[in-house]
Amino acid sequence: MESKPLPLKDKREHDTRAELTQGGPVFVPAVDILEDSQQLILIADMPGVDKDGIDIRIDNNELHIHGRVRRSIPGEYLVSEYPIGDFMRSFILSNLVDVGQVSASIKNGVLRVTLPKSQAAKPRKIQVHSE
């Protein structure tokens, strides 16, 4: 299958270092947010982050994702085209998300957060009773 070439994009650096005590740049991961009738799915590119490096918090309807990237510099730099650093991003959830049921997984450097909708937000079929 022929497909369009992948564009080159610079990693977007966070302009605040509020929650971090360590040095080095922090980047904003690219995300897709999908919705179907049952849930929202948030997919974030976080290359270099594994299961142990991911930290997800929900605090007052704010979802925070933070991925720690372990730097391993295998030798002396010859060429440097991309910077290396942690990933961080926050989202505000409406009360239509059932925050107690949020789950997440990470594979191949891609984080997937599943945010089920609360019962009130799911489409329902209304039973009609005959009298």
Partner 1 sequence: MAIITIREPAYFAAGSGLGRGGGRTLGVFQNEMNRLFESFFGHGKATSPSGVFPPINVYQTAEALVVTAELPGIKPEELQINVEDDSLLLQGERGAVHEDDTVSYHRRERDCGSFSRKIGFGQRIDAQAVSAELKDGILTVTLPRAREAMPHNVKIKTS
Contacts with partner 1 by CB under 8 A lie at 1-10, 14-18, 23-25, 28, 30-37, 40, 42-43, 45-50, 62, 73-84, 88-94, 96-97, 108-110, 115, 117, 121
Residue in this structure with the two tokens 């926050």, named with its chain if needed: 90
Residue in this structure with the two tokens 């997919």, named with its chain if needed: 43
Min separation Cβ 131 and partner 1, Å = 35
Of the two residues 6 and 126, which places its CB atom closer to partner 1 in the complex? Answer: 6
The CB density around residue 114, as the number of other CB atoms within 10 Å, is 14
Q: Which residues pair with 114 in a beta bridge?
A: 41, 103
Alpha-carbon torsion, ordered 93, 99, 105, 110, to 10 deg: 0
Of the two residues 72 and 127, which places its CB atom closer to partner 1 in the complex? Answer: 72
Min separation Cβ 101 and partner 1, Å = 14
Min separation Cβ 129 and partner 1, Å = 29
**Cβ neighbours of residue 117 closer than 8 Å, sequence gap 6 or more:** 37, 38, 39, 40, 96, 97, 98
Distance between alpha carbon 118 and the CA centroid of its chain, in Å?
Answer: 20
Of the two residues 82 and 130, which places its CB atom closer to partner 1 in the complex? Answer: 82
Of the two residues 18 and 126, which places its CB atom closer to partner 1 in the complex? Answer: 18
Min separation Cβ 26 and partner 1, Å = 9
